[in-house]
Chain A
């Protein structure tokens, strides 16, 4: 009995979807566009956030130490910094390491390289500090101005770079906000459009709902075929939108490769899609079915209220 009822409701939903023809097609296309909008903005924001993260990971400060600083003081300073919960990483760069880096950097410029060799090693030892959140770097500054570390520190790079860091910060925060703002605006707009499309589709069948009630159908017996139609919009919408995204990225990656040379950006973007195909499929299916079912459910409620 339960199985028979389930079978009938599912079959009715499928048959209605097919017999609705143009209306189903229109709803599915709108659903596809909605899912593409959601996916594209999510992908863009993930890529953007990752990009910003990469940039922010590069932000650090160097605390240059006086040659007179004792190893005990340096050790204490390193320990204090490591104990700070905001600090991600502290690296001690000795004078020799600093020299090595200098040599590597200017390996192609013997003049600069030699100038340093002649004057011994004037480069200071330093501590390179990274925080989890670069905006926390400023809060570390006071300790270098106070004893016992004041006398050991010759200079902190932050002061020099402060303006650049602050500006970069504001820029990345702004880009993030704009990105999410745009994403939310576009996603909301497309949600409103798909909801109205489904509402219109159900509105055209409102006299049928009246008839079904008069014939003695329970509210859920009337409702479920419409919900199944909603699920089908979601399922076909997912299939279509994945296909469209796949084709778009494929084309994009070809033109990227032609522009930047083979095996570069284009393949990376396409690779990103292929790697995340599973989660994307799941996300779209979940979003599509939820949108379809919730919209249908809300739209039909008003016609089922009266007995």
Chain B
């Protein structure tokens, strides 16, 4: 499903490597947690997978697509296959909750009929049917993150990347988000979660890959939080 082979990323020539010779294989339907302190390379890793950044060296291939052969104009099509959830939600402020989710389908040219049946479905899944007509600024952080998840899932992606999705949330809301991710994974979507929340990592009992200074220092099938 997801292959990274000897991937390194350097932002400035003089600076240290953000990622240093990383090789990972993530299988379909897996739930993988990337753990690391700030600056360990978690965000760089997700940016490489969504093609926001390109690796300085090494190869990345996802679902059979070799990133080195990907043309700039094909990037939007790639992104429609990967759902992404961010720490800062990244909702469109001028659109309602309904429109935010519908937008992910509109960009792909999906018909109005499909959109009208699909959007309420995902809204129901994240428990926000009643907020469809609200604007993002009228929602709480936890609700906004649920909208972001609904948007990431609306076009049935094979992969869902959640980059520190609980970073801005209180424990109760954080757990609601994690429960949602588990549910999504049960339905067959590969989930990649990056976090440095010890409690969540230890409770999940999933595969944990620990990053430190851009290197993988641990990769355990049922892992625990291993940083000080």
Contact = CB atoms under 8 A, between A and B. Distances in A.
B64 interface: no
Contacts of B112: 4
B25 interface: no
Given A215-B79, A216-B77, A217-B76, A16 B107 contact: no
A14 to B, nearest CB: 12
B107 A307 contact: no
Interface stretch (B32-40, B90-98, B205-213, B216-224): B90-98
B92 A211 contact: yes
B52 A216 contact: no
B51 interface: yes
Interface residues of B, number: 26
A205 B93 CA distance: 9
Given A214-B52, A216-B76, A8 B92 contact: no
Interface in B40-95: 50-52, 72-73, 75-80, 84, 90-94
B75 A307 contact: yes
B103 A215 contact: yes
A208 B77 CA distance: 19
Interface in A1-57: 1, 4-5, 8, 15-16, 19-20
A303 interface: no
A13 to B, nearest CB: 12
Contact of A307 (B51, B93, B108): B51
A212 interface: yes
Contacts of A236: none
A208 B92 contact: yes
Contacts of A199: none
Contacts of B73: 218
B91 A211 contact: yes
A1 B109 contact: yes
Interface of B: 50-52, 72-73, 75-80, 84, 90-94, 103-104, 106-109, 111-112, 151
Given A4-B111, A4-B112, 18 more contacts: A1-B109, A1-B111, A8-B106, A15-B94, A19-B94, A208-B94, A211-B90, A212-B92, A213-B76, A213-B79, A214-B52, A214-B79, A216-B76, A216-B80, A216-B107, A217-B103, A218-B107, A221-B107
